[in-house]
Amino acid sequence: MKKNTTVKSSRKTPQWAAVGIDLGDRTSLVCGLDEKAQIVTEFKIPTTPEALRAKFQRRPTQIALEAGPHAVWIEHLLTQLGHTVTVANPRQLRLISHSAKKTDRADAITLARLALCDATLLSPIQVRDPQRQMHLTMVRARAKIVAVRTELLNSARGLVKPHGVRLPRRDASSPQALLAQGFPPDLQSAIHPMLVQVDTLSEQIKVYDQQLAEIAATHYPETAKLRKVRGVGLIVALTYVLVIADPTRFRRSRQVGCYTGTTPRRNDSGQRNPQLGITKHGDAYLRAMLNQSAQFILGPLGEDCDLRRWGLRLCERGGKNAKKRAVTAVSRKLAVLMHRLWISDQPYDRFYNSGQTQPAVA
């Protein structure tokens, strides 16, 4: 009688030529393809550093994943393991975002096949290094606190109006707790805690401002050159430098306008050339900061310069949306100007285009 023997299998684990990962908040779906674009493996994996590090300790391969909250740290982790990682832009990847059959499995397969064919079809996104990402997180945390302070202050102003009183107008960064003095006792007890919270948030914003000023001076000295433009403050300059990250990735400064999403969309076909709105691509917070600077430049406190004169000429064209279009156009030119100042050694000349000599400063 023949004895049963244990024979080791000679089958080797199939190699992955390309991998697509559909990221989820808790679990992610992984699809691996061979060189003939055939599926060789599919599995779910927890979206944690330990699980990913244990599963991808193998021969380096091409990996594609969509941009999202977890894409930054996953890209850094997989790159450290030796893989070539491509972070796809979901806004440009209509094959996935507008698919009639959109599932996690279908998205992972599509990402893997595009990575195997040509990674440039994924419209790759450049991921920031961990230090820049941490500094940008601090900038955005400050922005959230500013938004909460504004909402609290506006709510307090609206709550007191039905009682026939108004909160005195005062800058949001100044003390607000004493504004409820003189109100009826019941109304004062309802509004005073809100104003105390506004003052607490203002103190925290000052702490953020001090930390960000130190970060800009220590790690990003180029922000000092950008702040030469009147209307570009510390937060705007620092946000611009952190979001752009590498200025050399743009062949021309004019391309920064497209990156910030302030250029018009185009849909030319035959004789049709409609006027469309801006693309709104890129970082929404950076675009909001550029719009704030543009409004200051066109406002009563803006200094005389080529950029202001050009924007005011756009405002004179008339129409109810002339000012809005001028602000958007100035913000686009401002983004281009800041990039040119960043990469060049020339000092800022506010009358560079007109050739006018700057007035002497006493």
| pLDDT tens digits, 111-169 | 999 999 988 889 898 888 999 999 999 999 999 999 999 999 999 999 999 998 888 88
The number of CA neighbours under 13 Å toward the Cβ of 30 is 18
Cross-strand bridge partners of residue 18: 33, 62
* 216 pLDDT higher than 80: yes
Q: Where are the beta strands (DSSP E) in the chain?
A: 18-22, 27-33, 39-46, 62-66, 84-88
What pLDDT, on the 0 to 100 scale, is given for residue 9?
A: 43
What pLDDT, on the 0 to 100 scale, is given for residue 4?
A: 52
Distance CA 312, CA 327 (A): 9
* 213 pLDDT higher than 60: yes
Distance CA 107, CA 236 (A): 36
What pLDDT, on the 0 to 100 scale, is given for residue 360?
A: 45
- Residue 184's contacts (CB-CB under 8 Å, 6 or more residues apart) are 163
Across 221-233, b (16+ Cβ under 10 Å) vs e yields ebbebbbebbbbb
Whole-number average pLDDT of the chain: 88
What pLDDT, on the 0 to 100 scale, is given for residue 193?
A: 92
Residue with tokens 């094959």: 95
Distance CA 47, CA 25 (A): 7
Distances (CA, A) of 73 to 52, 92, 165, 304: 11, 22, 51, 45
Distance CA 302, CA 91 (A): 36
Say what the pTM is. 0.84
> What type of residue sits at position 169?
R
Q: Is 34 helix (H, G, I), strand (E, B) or coil?
A: coil
> What type of residue sits at position 247?
P
Rg of the chain's alpha carbons, rounded to an integer?
27
49 close to 26: Cβ distance less than 8 angstroms: no
Cross-strand bridge partners of residue 88: 66
More confident call, 15 vs 46: 46
Mean per-residue pLDDT for 26-43?
Answer: 93
88 close to 64: Cβ distance less than 8 angstroms: yes
- Residue 40's contacts (CB-CB under 8 Å, 6 or more residues apart) are 14, 16, 32, 33, 34
Distance CA 199, CA 154 (A): 14
- Residue 314's contacts (CB-CB under 8 Å, 6 or more residues apart) are 322, 325, 326, 329, 330
Tokens found for residue 90: 């979901």
The number of CA neighbours under 13 Å toward the Cβ of 230 is 16
pLDDT in tens, 239-275: 999 999 999 999 999 999 999 998 888 777 666 777 7
